[in-house]
Chains A and B, each alone.
Chain A
Amino acid sequence: MSTNVFSQVETLLELVERPSRYINHEWGASALDPNADYRACMMYPDTYEVGQANQGLAILYSILNAQEGVSCERAYTPWIDMADCMRALDIPLYGLESGDALKDFDLIGIQYPHEMAVTNILESLDLAQIPLFSKERSLDDPLIIAGGPSVLNPEPIADFFDCVLIGESEEQIIKFVDAHRKALAEGLSREDMLFALSQVPGVYVPQFYAELPKEEQSRAIYAPIKEGVPEKVKRQIVTGFKNTDPLASHIVPYAATVHDRVAIEILRGCSRGCRFCQAGMAYRPVRERTADQIVSAVLEGLKKTGYDEVSLTSLSTTDHSQIEEILTRLNKRLAITGVRISLPSQRMDSFGVEMAALVSGSKKGGLTFAPEAGSQRLRNVINKNITEEDIEKSIEGAFKAGWRRIKLYFMIGLPSETDDDLRAIGELAQRAYEIARDNCEPSQRSAIQITCSAAIFVPKSHTPYQWFGQVHPDEIKRRIEVLKESMPQKGVRLNYHASDTSYLEAVLARGDRSLAQLIYEVWKRGARFDAWTEQAQEKLWFETAEELGFNLLELACKSYGYKDPLPWAHIDSLVLNNYLEMEDLRSKMSQITEDCTFGLCTYCGVCTRTNADIDLAGDRLVE
């Protein structure tokens, strides 16, 4: 029987910040199937405001609730004030919908959205009073599974999870839950059940894999220790993306969430091929919904929710082959309703600015661009296919159209970066300022705001830069000085984050299974909400690591050779390793690689190795 804890939680609601995080009963939240015999919960390891906005979990929540006999709830990490109270009063973490303790559920799916969420995963499991390590759990505990963008290198968190779902889970989760229910009904032992689950495509069961002896590690570090489990776990791709429901969620939160609007995923994948970008490799091939489907989903979403804003989401929204048609039609339909349309990012060319202008109406807030690197040379190296002319044209276009505030994103510490490349950022900023001045009225010049934002590059698994060691912090410090000096005297502001978090991120992004021990220890000493700048405890991480014998800087800055075994080699992102190698070589020669949705197939392997294919709603034309 399950224990309902909501009445206990209620005694705390007046004592914590933002109680609406904990009360559920939002408009559009699913009514649970009272006859369900299988109870699942999708959990996001951060606050309600961050997690509720996550589209991936929202999709799985809807899919599971539509299954006969299955009910699915939501859970988030309680903020520290609530967590402390719950822990002190022995109140376990609960499913938001029912208020029942999570430890009585059958399945808890936890999103691994980014590396800095690791301590919150442990914090949430611990608050739920569920054993943290997979090997400590029994059939009495819920099955704990992970999914999401960062599981492409699951090893640092592998010890905490019973199963890891690799790739897009819309179809996979149904097969997985079916197999789990069958195993429960048949009364299988935990080991047999996990084996049955390992047979579902794309399911990685960490305890059936172990580190190979050093001399046997030719390509991979981890290999099966149980007969019948796949040697390599393949990333799953939804076959009929177009046929999936575009309106992932119609829950209308009371608390202001980070993306508080209707979100319609208009296309999936991006093959522009930026060499630093994991998402650009890991969500191929590109698949678009049709304009008709998108327009009607937007209208339906607005009507169901009452939101006054809609976001057309994807990795590269303005690349949609029918984007102009979509925006024009939406503008027409939404005139005089006060509804805003937002695009998550701007493509840095004149078309990108035209599309931004199409939805901005008369309100021109800020416009954000990501040239990523200052010089053309370095942009070619990273395959950011935008030219000097594109950059100038888009800044000119932005100021001509009436924007006065722009933000430019850069990365520092990219492979092959020289001081000249850094100085090129300053020169670009200077040019941006001049273009801005020349393209607005003299009386408007004081309103010009140009911000350059520089982040430290973090190499990720399954990208052409997976072998590249991060640049040492001392050297980064020097480079930041070069960058600072290169900045124009006036008109431009520089933001940079020189925090140690990017090194932790790098360690976890390319780390191996031994890190579980460190994550556990750091969490035990009080680390949580590491992704929140004011909560982050980098010092604690570094001190604990030293005590346990990890050299974090060495791990972050370590470079691999192409022949070296990698900790994530047993996870197959479907992009060929040879392709990544070739991309890295082309990078070293500053050679660009075309986007296969605009040009020809470049043989990354995704389409050739599966039955997936690029699926566009129309032709993508090069300007």
Chain B
Amino acid sequence: MLNNQIGFKLRVRYQKISRLRYLSHLEVLRAIERSIRRAELPFALTQGFSPHMKIAYSAALPLGAESLDEYFDVNLTDFVDTKEALKRLQDNSPENLYPLDAKYIDPKSDSLTKALTISEYEISLSSPQLSPEHIQLALDEILNRNYIEFDKKGKIKKLELQTRLYKKPQLTTIDTGKYQLNLITRALDSGSLRPDILIDALAREIEIAAPDVELCTRAIKFKDLGLDLRFDRFRVFESVLIKRTAQYIEEVTGEIKRGI
């Protein structure tokens, strides 16, 4: 059977932007598999009762996050020229979930989630009522404490920070009330630091440190109307846009290189 052969492994880099940032991880997986089927690439199937496409993805993004650097590895039974494969994929993909690059990799190489442990994020925050100091102080407080606590389905989880931060997060003021947080995280087997978890923690910290700072307009409106704001971050930030700008493989030497 074809399926037993090692075949070829094509690594594809893609972006998830604009409206399609609202897709859940599962929705992205489904959409990509359908693009591959439409592109009629010779994908391999798993064996067994319900055969499915042999494909693997890089780690899930937080809901609502954009990314310029996502990956999937798909096993092919036949060789298709890289350029041709990429073109066929592009022709069959929506522009907001779009393949940017493709390359064959050693079929025995590490899986994406195992390989790509370093993620770089650019997080845009807006909050007219907060000063840069408010945010910086709260951030320092969290970093000094070196852990964050968060609620995961009713259970309080504690996450140590230092080993999960590849670099110290940098806060920059872009404009009045507009900030950017640059973050590089390291995924560990014992749990990863998701940027949305950090931002929620940051928001809670700001509320404690500066109790007299007003809620943002949307939060006030929602509170008046008795609606649920769902995430802590929206109490102090008018908008939060998380963008993953790159993912890296970390070598034993400590050096990092891109997925393709």
A residues within 8 Å of B by Cβ?
11, 13-16, 18-20, 23-25, 27, 81, 84-85, 88-89, 252, 254-256, 302-308, 336, 338, 340, 362-363
Contact = CB atoms under 8 A, between A and B. Distances in A.
B35 A89 contact: no
Interface string B40-68: 10000100011111000000000110000
B234 A14 contact: yes
B260 interface: no
A14 B231 contact: yes
Given A256-B30, A305-B38, A25 B231 contact: no
A14 B196 CA distance: 12
A303 B45 contact: no
Given A81-B228, A307-B34, A25 B19 contact: yes
Contact of B31 (A11, A15, A254, A308): A254
B182 interface: no
Nearest to B95: A25
Given A85-B227, A88-B227, A254-B30, A303 B24 contact: no
Contacts of B2: 336
B208 interface: no
A11 B27 CA distance: 21
A338 B51 contact: yes
B63 to A, nearest CB: 7
Contact of B96 (A25, A89, A256, A308): A25
Given A23-B22, A305-B34, A306-B35, 13 more contacts: A11-B239, A13-B64, A14-B231, A15-B228, A19-B63, A27-B31, A27-B35, A303-B38, A308-B33, A308-B37, A308-B53, A336-B45, A338-B53
A14 B228 contact: no
A75 to B, nearest CB: 17
Contacts of A252: 31, 34
B230 interface: yes
Contacts of B227: 84-85, 88
Nearest to A362: B49
Given A25-B20, A304-B38, A308-B37, A89 B31 contact: no
Interface in B216-260: 218, 221-222, 225, 227-231, 234, 239
B191 interface: no
B76 interface: no
Contacts of B24: 18, 20
23 contacts: A14-B64, A15-B231, A20-B22, A24-B19, A84-B227, A85-B227, A89-B221, A252-B31, A254-B20, A256-B26, A305-B38, A306-B35, A306-B38, A306-B92, A308-B37, A308-B53, A338-B45, A338-B51, A338-B52, A338-B53, A340-B50, A363-B49, A363-B50
B225 A88 contact: yes
Nearest to B94: A27
Nearest to A29: B94
A306 B37 contact: yes
Contacts of A14: 22, 63-64, 230-231, 234
B230 A15 contact: yes
Nearest to B18: A25
A338 B37 CA distance: 11
Contact of A19 (B22, B40, B51, B229): B22
B23 interface: yes
Interface string B74-100: 000000000000000000101010000
A97 B63 CA distance: 22
Contacts of A18: 24
B123 interface: no
Contact of A23 (B19, B218, B239): B19
B36 interface: yes
A13 B52 CA distance: 32
Nearest to B27: A254
Interface of B: 2, 19-20, 22-24, 26-27, 30-31, 33-38, 40, 45, 49-53, 63-64, 92, 94, 96, 218, 221-222, 225, 227-231, 234, 239
Contact of A27 (B23, B34, B53): B34
A25 B16 CA distance: 13
Contacts of A89: 221
A402 to B, nearest CB: 11
A362 B45 CA distance: 15
Contact of A307 (B37, B53, B64): B37
Nearest to B53: A338
Nearest to B196: A14
Contacts of A11: 218, 239
A286 to B, nearest CB: 33
Q: Which 9 A-B pairs have the closest CB atoms?
A: A306-B34, A306-B37, A306-B38, A19-B22, A88-B225, A363-B49, A338-B51, A254-B27, A14-B64
A15 B26 CA distance: 19
Most buried by B among A14, A20, A25: A14
Contacts of B222: 88
Contacts of A81: 228
A413 to B, nearest CB: 38
B217 to A, nearest CB: 11
A308 B52 CA distance: 9
A432 to B, nearest CB: 24
Contact of B22 (A13, A302, A306): A13
Contacts of A16: 230
Nearest to A24: B19
A308 B36 CA distance: 11
A302 B36 CA distance: 12
Given A15-B234, A336-B45, A306 B36 contact: yes
A305 B36 CA distance: 10
B47 to A, nearest CB: 10
Contacts of B53: 308, 338
Given A89-B221, A338-B53, A25 B94 contact: yes
Contacts of A88: 221-222, 225, 227
Nearest to A302: B37
A362 B50 CA distance: 8
Contact of A306 (B27, B33, B49, B228): B33
A88 to B, nearest CB: 4
A237 to B, nearest CB: 35
A587 to B, nearest CB: 43
Nearest to B2: A336
Contacts of A20: 22-24, 27
Nearest to B239: A11
A254 B225 contact: no
Contacts of A307: 34, 37
Contacts of B19: 23-25
A15 B229 contact: yes
Contacts of A254: 20, 23, 27, 30-31
B44 to A, nearest CB: 10
Nearest to A339: B37
A584 B94 CA distance: 55
A88 B221 CA distance: 9
A384 to B, nearest CB: 33
Contacts of B20: 23, 25, 254
Contacts of B234: 14-15
Contacts of A84: 227
A16 B63 CA distance: 11
B228 to A, nearest CB: 7
Contacts of A338: 45, 51-53
